[in-house]
Amino acid sequence: MSAQPAQPAQAAQPAPPARSGGAAAIGLILTIALNVVAPIITYNTLVDDHGWSEASALLASGAWPVLDSAVMVAWRRKLDEFAIVTLVFLVITAVVSLVGARSTEALLVKDSVVTGLFGVLCLATLLAPRPLMFYFGRKFGTDGTAAGVAYYNGLWRFEGFRDAQRRMTLVWGVVYLIEAAVRIALSFVLDTSAMVTLSPFMIYGTLGGLAFWTVRFVKRTKAEGEKRAAADAAAAADGQAGGLTA
């Protein structure tokens, strides 16, 4: 009985069609273009060629990541928990960008506040019935079909799966709080042009590092779970054989 949960996990290994091929490549190119390339080009063009102030150019260049999030939500055409989180942060980003002081340092700090708030959200969901990384995992770890989602939801009954989701959420929350604190400190040390160039790489470097760690962690946790399931199955088989011989 204890070996059965390992069966569906192996059946779910193939990459979902919705996240492969041309669509995934387009999504990645669009994300890099709108979140890294476009803000840097916009800022430098407005300041160097059109004489905009650093604060105004910085505020204008921040429209590109907002556009990227809006495009992704419209592209998926599905308002699940992941899309709701994205929409919430769209609102937070807009509010944070529009209120308060308009100095360049303040605008850069506000940009860091958004990722810091994401870290706070991760940690806050540890008190919820299911942590935030559960929903991220369901978004990117299934093919989006009813069967795939139902299978993923069913994994919650296993203690090891629940512990792994909470540990991942804790790590993401703490790392993003550290990332936000470092970027806020650098905003007062480096000049605006340097921060406009550095900030996207810090954001996506942190994301890439966390994604790499998460993939390794999930593989290791799954391997350990399958090993325990195999050991439990062997022990159950030995118990049944012993009962028959007795």
In this predicted model, what pLDDT tens digit does every residue of 194-222 receive, in sequence order? 888 888 788 878 988 998 899 899 888 88
In this predicted model, what pLDDT tens digit does every residue of 141-183 receive, in sequence order? 776 677 877 888 888 998 889 999 999 999 999 999 999 999 8
CA neighbours within 13 Å on the CB side: how many for 174? 7
How far is it, in rounded angstroms, from Cα 64 to Cα 85?
Answer: 18
Per the model's pLDDT, the better-predicted residue between 4 and 92 turns out to be 92
**pLDDT confidence bin for 190, thresholds 50/70/90:** confident
% helix, strand, coil for the chain, step of 5: 85, 0, 15
Nearest to 192 by CA among 49, 47, 31, 93: 47
- Output the pTM of the full model: 0.64
116 CB neighbour count, 10 Å cutoff: 19
Query: Per-residue pLDDT for 8 more than 90?
Result: no
Which residue is associated with the tokens 């942590």?
131
* Average pLDDT score, the chain: 74
